[in-house]
Structure 1
Amino acid sequence: MSNESFPERRDIYAVLGAPDSRVPVQAPEDRKEARRMKGGNSFYCSTALGGCGGELTFAIGDVNVPHFRHQAGSRCSLISSKSQADRYTHLAMQEALRSWIETMPGFSCRLEVSIENGRTDVLVTGPSFEVALEVQRSALSARNALERTAVYGQRANVVQWLYASKDIEAYKTELADRGWSLRIWWGWAKKECRIGVSYETDNETDVEIKEIGGPLGDWEVTARGLASAHLRKAKEAVERRRAAERERQQQEAEDARLREEAKKAREVEVRKRRIEEQKASRAALLEALKHTPEGLENRWPSSWPQLRGSPSQVAWAESIRARAVALLREELVEEWLPEARGVPVALWLAIQSSASFWINCRFKDTLAIVQTYEHQFGSPGQSRR
């Protein structure tokens, strides 16, 4: 097989001095700087990161960028591994955190401490408390984060996650839930570790995620976890935003309540007007029913019964009956409708005491009333079955 199919693989990470060393290094691109680093030092594939522990050649040529190279024929799983950068960067972050913590009077630090079915990255022991710091560079679900937090929480008073990527699901969930989340960065060039915080704030139209932070010296470890002016500023911004959001929601709820009350008031007013109109129609009907139409003595119904049904049905039906009777009365008085056809209809209507009858019929004109009657009983002169 040709070298074109399998080009030479070059790695830029190693540990300094011994296979189990916890001093990670990255080969610099600058050749002068690389030669200074090489100076009499020895470099190894890290066993702490799952490597083979073999001594590496620090290749500094005129063509290729400086890099570390395993011995020929090595089958180490870390050679050109996609996770190699994450593993060595994770180690660098752990060591930076330990060095920082051990400068604090009364504090000590241990790495990769086993706790039941888990292993915490950095376990900080303070004067009367312990804090677990979890450096997370790879994918992690929100559920797994909660499960691991519960495990580490059996030992530590506080468990805090330091996320190296915004793409981690657990980071996004934590940020959405409480409005802020801790971040961690490592710079190989300056060999500097920084801790910051992502937090929610408002712009003119939407929620914006900002980040602030600084070197480890800006932070301190307390019984409640990491603390700094950066975190206080972020928490204050989140509280202001969420207080404003609560106020906005309360105002929206109050506006909705007022709109609903106004709507109900309008509906009540409409019902009142309708009832008054129905009362007026009923009063007009009752007044009209007191008088027999001229020329219809002894033929016009002598009484119109009280309708049966619910109060709303009765009110509705009475207004319908009032209009129907008025139409029929006018037709008979003006002789547009012969008495022979109209009087039987009037007598028939006078015995309809069910409100539902009038509501279901809703007669629009006199012809509809007469046709309804004659459809059921036949017209004058027509033989009845």
Structure 2
Amino acid sequence: MSTMRRHDTIYAVVGSPEARDVVTAPAEKYAARRMRSEAQESRTSFFCSIAVGGCGSKLKLAAGDMRIPYFSHAPQAVCDLSDATARDGYTHLAIQEELKRWIEGTTSLRCDLEVATSDRKGRSDLVVRDAEDTHRLGLEIQLSPLTHAEMQRRSNIYLKCMNHVQWLYGHEEIQACRSQVERGGYAFRVRIDMETKECDLGYFGFHGGGSLQTAWRPLRDWIVRRNGLYSPSIKSVLEEAKAKAEIEHASKPKPPPETYQSIYTGLSEEYGSVLTAEYAAVRERVIAAIYRSARKGQLDESTAVELLVWLRDLTKHSAWWRRQLLGPGRKGPEIVIRVLEVYRSQKQ
């Protein structure tokens, strides 16, 4: 246990330590002072949320002249929340509440939060069910790192007591999110403005030309289906993104036919003949991922040629390839994304 620094949190809940109504300290001091005055007039108190792992103690909204407003613990308070834990925890809590409010306010469905599975081995963020409780949809909000294997393990637990599970990722870098794109073509993402509590959902996937993007739409543009969330208007957003990518792709000079295939074949033969089997396998996975993405149309040929030529001339030791380009658990598009990131960073 460690004493929490008094300036560590800009979040709190209102009314009680068990409350789920998240508030954010305004960045502007006069707005923060108004919030504090209104709370005093209504005899409302701010608390460190137990739901996010906080200590449950009462907080004071500090709004001085020298520092950005923040919620302060009492000097004697002891709290384990760190900056990162508090940020993710309160964001997760706010998203849960906003999704529940939206679902119950626009449908006849029920929405329960933090529902334990029948075997007590898991706890689902949101369970959406019809009035007869004949069909259950689980919505899982994931803001912290998660592997594909762990996502599958948890999904299997949830599916023992519900019909469908849909994951909503807060960050596109989450490995499970990338893996879902590789296997299904897209993944779902979620974000929220912590001051206004406006929440958006989005499709994350390839939009043409090797570009991974998220197409966002506000909650009002989504509907709840038996097997998950769907946005009728997202189709036009995806089509616009695809058209833009195709225009950019058309403006690039085209390499000679099969150039990238010949480079790929040459590299495969070269690595197989001059490297040890282990190192050859590492590099083979990297260039094979680029080749497959180009063949599928996810990566344009000119970009594939640039990357393969760069890799051909790269003199880094194979351990660097494994650490920087391959990484633990990366597959297909994830490898291509990482290669693009490293390539562009070294070209700057």
Answering whether residue 143 of structure 2 is matched by residue 103 of structure 1, we say no
- CA contact 1:200–1:237 (8 Å) conserved in 2: no
Report the equivalent of 1:133: 139
C-alpha deviations, 1:205-238, integer Å up to 9, x for none?
Answer: xx22132121111111111211112555588899
- Aligned equivalent of 1:216: 219
Query: RMSD of aligned C-alpha atoms?
Result: 2.8
Distance in 1 of aligned mates of 2:139 and 2:16: 26
- Structure 1 230/151 Cα, relative in aligned 2: closer, same or farther at 3 Å? farther
Whole-Å Cα distance in 1 between the matches of residues 234 and 164 of structure 2? 16
Aligned residue in 1 for 2:320:
none
Structure 2: gaps spanning 5 or more residues: 246-257, 259-348
With over 3 angstroms needed to count, the CA separation of the structure-2 counterparts of 1:239 and 1:215, relative to structure 1, is closer
Distance verdict in 2 for CA 1:201–1:11, change over 3 Å: closer
Contact 1:111 1:122 in 2 (8 A): yes
Change (3 A) 1:234 1:82: same
Return the alpha-carbon distance in structure 2 between the equivalents of residues 181 and 102 of structure 1: 24
Q: Which residue number corresponds to residue 83 of structure 1?
A: 85
Shift in Å, 1:183: 0.5
Q: 1:118 aligns with which of 119, 122, 130?
A: 122
Q: Match for 2:123: what amino acid?
A: R
- For the pair 1:94 / 2:96, whether they are aligned, the reply is yes
Q: Which has the higher contact order (CA 8 A, sep 6+)?
A: 2
Q: Residue 105 of structure 1: CA displacement? A: 3.6
Instruction: Name the larger-Rg structure.
Output: 1
1:43 aligns with 2:46: yes
CA contact (8 A) 2:127 2:138 kept: yes
Task: Give how far 1:106 is off.
Answer: 2.0
Q: Which residue of 1 aligns with 2:74?
A: 71
Give the 3-state SS of the residue equivalent to 1:82 in structure 2.
helix
Output the CA distance in 1 between the equivalents of 2:176 and 2:69. Answer: 36
The letter of the residue matching 1:51 is: G
List aligned pairs for 1:175-214, cutoff 5 A.
Answer: 175-203=181-209, 207-214=210-217
Cα deviation per residue 1:154-185 (whole Å; 9 max; x = unaligned)? 12211000000011000010011111110100
The 2-side partners of 1:83 and 1:143 are apart by: 23
In the alignment, what sits opposite 1:32?
30
How far apart, in 1, do the equivalents of 2:184 and 2:237 lie?
Answer: 11
Q: 1:149 to 1:215 in 2, by over 3 A?
A: same
The equivalent of 1:10 in structure 2 is 8
Taking the aligned partners of 2:72 and 2:5, their CA distance within structure 1 comes to 13
Distance 2:103 2:152 in 1: 25
Residues 166 and 228 of structure 2 are in contact (CA less than 8 Å); yes or no, is this contact kept in structure 1? yes
AA matched with 2:72: R
**Structure 2: distance between partners of 1:236 and 1:161:** 24
- In structure 2, distance between residues paired with 1:170 and 1:114: 22
Gap runs ≥5 in structure 1: 1-5, 242-251, 253-385
Cα gap change, 1:237 to 1:125, in 2 (>3 Å): farther
Q: Report if aligned partners of 1:199, 1:234 keep a CA contact under 8 Å in 2.
A: no
Correspondence for 1:149: 155
Label 1:239 to 1:222 Cα distance change in 2 as closer, same or farther (>3 A): farther
Distance in structure 1 (CA, Å) of the matches to 2:74 and 2:189? 37
CA deviation map 1:296-327 (0-9, x unaligned): xxxxxxxxxxxxxxxxxxxxxxxxxxxxxxxx
Which SS does the other structure have where 2:152 is aligned? helix
TM-score, length basis structure 2: 0.63
Measure, in 1, the Cα distance between the counterparts of 2:20 and 2:33. 21
State the Cα deviation string for residues 282-302 of structure 1 (Å, max 9, x = none). Answer: xxxxxxxxxxxxxxxxxxxxx
Q: TM-score, normalised by structure 1?
A: 0.57
Taking the aligned partners of 2:167 and 2:234, their CA distance within structure 1 comes to: 14
Tell me, in whole angstroms, the C-alpha distance in 2 between the residues paired with 1:12 and 1:65. Answer: 9
